[in-house]
Amino acid sequence: MVVGLVAVGVTYVVLRRDPEPATATGRAGCEPIEVSSSTEKADLMIDLARRYNGSKTLYGGTRCASVTVHRLTSGAAMEALVSGWNEQRDGAPRPQVWAPTSSLWLQLARHRESGTDRPVLPPAGVKAPSIAQSPLVISMPKPMAEAFGWPGREFGWSDVLALASDPQGWGRYGHPEWGRFSFGKDNPHLSTSGLAATVATYYAATGLSRELTPADLEQPNVTTFVRGVESGVLHYTDDAVTFLANLAEADAKGAAMSYVSAVVHQEQLTFLYNKGNTTGDPKVVGRAPKVPLVPMVPRDGTLMLDHPYVVLPSATDAQKEAAADFLAFLQKPEQQAAFAAMGFRDHLGTAGPELTQTLQLPAGQKISVVQPPAGEMLDRILSGWDDLRKKARVLLVLDVSGSMKEEAYGGISKLEAAKAAAIKSLDLLHADDEVALWTFSTQRGGSRQPYTEQLPMSRLGTAKQQLTATIRGLNAEGGTALYYTTRAADTFMRQRLDAGRINAVVLLTDGHNEYPADSDKARLLRDLDGSVLEESVRIFGIAFGADADLATLQEVAKVSRAAAYDATDPSSVDKVFTSVLSNF
């Protein structure tokens, strides 16, 4: 999954493509190695691979390596490795080196492949070296951090719990205009910061520093603590850039405190945001925000994201030697300076002067680091999170206009491909999530409105079989009533807001608005204003197929503080649905 920000004047639109090929060009006549890099450092890794390939470096006196780099989220790369890498399915060549954000994924992958006769990862006794490091932090807009008591007062997971549970919200600290406390967190099944934050929350809940046990996770005080922290989540995502993009949009309008109270991510992203670069691309020069973020290291425990360099056993001896030379290159001062310029600490965990100055890191900063648990416990933590996370209330809206009869790929119609992806994605939701289904087109058998409620809002655990059967039975006809249906869906959800849940619309369309009775996009965007979070709904749009109105979905996402997803390549719709559902 690749997440980008598209500049529009001084605002930003979250544009998500899945997958996007982005690689360093190889070096002819040398030993080839493929590196799978986590997304937040992928652009930098691509640049450094180009630098390495262009340096004409030799090792062993006469040999050379040719390095190519592709980007893939750490969670997605782990799943690909453990399930057996498939270049067509996973969108990239099988790597010889894996560079995830944290060794947490290495631990989890080792556990999931245990018992297999052909392990794809190095054995547990082999420690992967770091190429850079960055601690997990809770970043707040500076005025909010100051209202809490920063810099004299430390912040932690217990404070997240207290703020999330307090109906007065920021009124407790003299700012009722900021509303209730909410924070952005990534989905721990897909994102390193989400996984690390979940691990740290469990450790804070137990108050322990030793290895956790299954019994620790099930203690009532622990589950109450974790559920309380999760209750403050605005929504989940597979990449914290979503939150930073929407925060940049609010900041540009002078309303930085209107969106989210905090974002949990690695320190490096706070550095980039404060520099005006939220893409991770070293070539991007942005405008610094009016209100910077303050990174607060949780006093009751955090994790150091160690960015390991994992040489996979499937590499040949020659490829392993080439990989070792590239690692040595990455750890040299010139390349470590490039990591430092992007907000990383060095491979030993030391903060450089620019990072220290930009983020006002305290002298002699002490970080209470939690040791990553074993893979089995990580799996148990993820299972516990599934039950304790903030539940969702989602209106799924599918375009069934006549153009959905057109072929998507391989002789399959767009409607059939969308139906299959939607049904498959339901497995990502919890039985206690609530889902409703609408369809829309301009011809609905004499109906006065161009959309149809196919299933009322229902608990998924009760209605999943009916919902699946209903989706399978959908047919396509008519034109695309995009504006009218989007407005109606927003109104429907606003009238039924549940403050204890993530309230959202997921809307898939393959076309542009074709409904003359409602063609006023400017009015639609005004009506969807999501600046008052307690009263608004996130609208996540999926642009499906080459003719989809991606630009309008981007605008809808921007005003509703959500994200637009690009499935203009119809074969990507399965992965896109997975990414969309990671918000819940």
Integer-rounded Cα radius of gyration of the chain: 24
Please say whether the beta carbons of 38 and 192 come within 8 A.
yes
Please say whether the beta carbons of 82 and 109 come within 8 A.
yes
The rounded distance, in Å, linking the Cα atoms of 88 and 85 is: 9
3-state class of 324 per DSSP?
helix
- Residue 580's CB is within 10 A of a number of other CB atoms, namely 31
Phi and psi at residue 452, to the nearest 5°: -135, 130
Among 559, 567, 495, CA closest to 530: 559
Query: b/e for 558-576, b at 16 or more Cβ within 10 A?
Result: bbbbbbbbbbbbbebbbbb
Residue 7 tokens read as 């500049």
Q: What pLDDT score does 9 carry? A: 29
> For the sheet containing 11-17, what is the strand order?
2-8, 11-17, 564-567, 538-544, 502-509, 392-399, 434-440, 451-459
Q: Which whole-number Å values give the CA distances from 568 to 409, 538, 551, in the listed order? A: 12, 21, 12
In the chain the domains, ranked by start, together with CATH numbers, are: 18-130+309-338 (3.40.190.10), 134-304+365-385 (3.40.190.10), 391-581 (3.40.50.410)
Q: Left, alpha or beta for 124 (phi > 0: left; psi -120 to 50: alpha)?
A: alpha
The rounded distance, in Å, linking the Cα atoms of 217 and 63 is: 51
3-state class of 130 per DSSP?
strand
Q: Which residues contact 235 (CB under 8 A, 6 or more apart)?
A: 184, 392, 502, 504, 538, 583, 584
Please say whether the beta carbons of 353 and 345 come within 8 A.
no
**Which helix (H) or strand (E) element contains residue 233?**
strand 233-237
Tokens 């040398």 belong to 30
Q: What is the pLDDT of residues 375-404, one digit of tens each?
A: 999 999 999 999 999 999 999 999 999 999
Q: What pLDDT score does 445 carry? A: 59
Helices 157-165/192-206 angle, 10° precision: 90
DSSP-assigned states of every residue in 157-173: HHHHHHHHH-TTGGGGG
The rounded distance, in Å, linking the Cα atoms of 65 and 315 is: 13
Q: What pLDDT score does 448 carry? A: 75
N- to C-terminal Cα separation, the chain: 17
Q: Which whole-number Å values give the CA distances from 146 to 126, 178, 255, 270, in the listed order? A: 44, 14, 17, 17
- Residue 125's CB is within 10 A of a number of other CB atoms, namely 5
The low-confidence residues of the chain, meaning pLDDT below 50, are 1-23
pTM of the model: 0.87
- Any bridge partners for residue 139, and if so which? 263, 295
Q: How many residues does the chain have?
A: 584
- Any bridge partners for residue 5, and if so which? 14
**Which helix (H) or strand (E) element contains residue 437?**
strand 434-440
The rounded distance, in Å, linking the Cα atoms of 510 and 543 is: 6
The DSSP 8-state label assigned to residue 408 in this structure reads E
Q: How many CA atoms lie within 13 A of 484 on its CB side?
A: 20
Q: What pLDDT score does 447 carry? A: 66
Residue 391 tokens read as 């539940």
Q: Which whole-number Å values give the CA distances from 278 to 41, 241, 355, 432, 554, in the listed order? A: 12, 7, 15, 34, 17
Q: What pLDDT score does 2 carry? A: 36
Query: b/e for 213-233, b at 16 or more Cβ within 10 A?
Result: eeebbeeeebbebbbbbbbbb
Q: Which residues contact 132 (CB under 8 A, 6 or more apart)?
A: 41, 307, 336, 339, 344, 345, 346, 347
The rounded distance, in Å, linking the Cα atoms of 551 and 56 is: 43
Please say whether the beta carbons of 199 and 369 come within 8 A.
no
3-state class of 574 per DSSP?
helix
